[in-house]
Amino acid sequence: MSNRRSVLSELKAFLANPSSTFLLLEDVTWTTFTELEPHFNELEMRQSLRISFIKDSIFVQLMPSKAHETGHRKLAEEMKHELKILDPTPTHAGGVNDVGSATFTHPNLASLEGDTVLVPLTQKDLPRLVIECGDSQSYPSLTKKANNWFQYFPSVHAVIIVKLYLDINKKVVIELWEHAVGGKSLNGTVMITLHTLAPAFRVPLDCFFPAFPPWIPNGQRELVIPAAMMQNYYDLVCSYNA
């Protein structure tokens, strides 16, 4: 499907009558993607789409739901809040910059847009921690995107996958994946349901920083979002699907 006209035709048909919230266009060259990028950028702004290119495929995501947006934005806010508690100096801003759903490009291979991306202030152009959230998006597609972050962007140390199951069960599963030789390793999982109290969420500080800032308290090696804050997070996410 390297032909520009074919790609646009498939995309327009999908937007006119979407049968799901995602569209995958395969066998697309990098040249075709870059030629169509101005058109994609316009669509992203006009229809709140998210469009990524991975090796030889274009992945299109329709407008995220409120639960989806809250699932990654609120979690990022809680992490930044805890970082600022470690050092409230305004100029430090917790040592990270939240660039939102910024796009990062690996020429000829990948153009990925995270749900939320955090970069260290010392390396503002390099993604360090990525949050990917899905409600209608399947768990396998979330893990595939996590794999692509690790494969194409060596600066990424951690990807947090947030999977929302907002049916009658109202379950939220959060997985912390870290870079490992040959791929990724699961560092921890948090599951919150209607029938379980939320636990604290722990994230190693090296997920945020390539080198610990001098203001990190001596001996501290992880950031902890307290259980009460995680319960508030869960309640807020689920409120959008009540």
The ranges of the chain with pLDDT < 70 are: 1-2, 18-20, 44-48, 63, 88, 90-93, 242
pLDDT value of residue 238: 93
pLDDT value of residue 2: 56
d(CA 93, CA 98): 10
Strand partners, 223: 203
pLDDT value of residue 89: 74
CATH number, domain 66-239: 3.90.1570
Strands annotated E in 114-211: 116-120, 129-134, 158-165, 171-180, 183-192, 201-204
Q: Which residue has the tokens 């991306």?
A: 117
Return the domain boundaries, the chain.
4-61, 66-239
pLDDT value of residue 226: 97
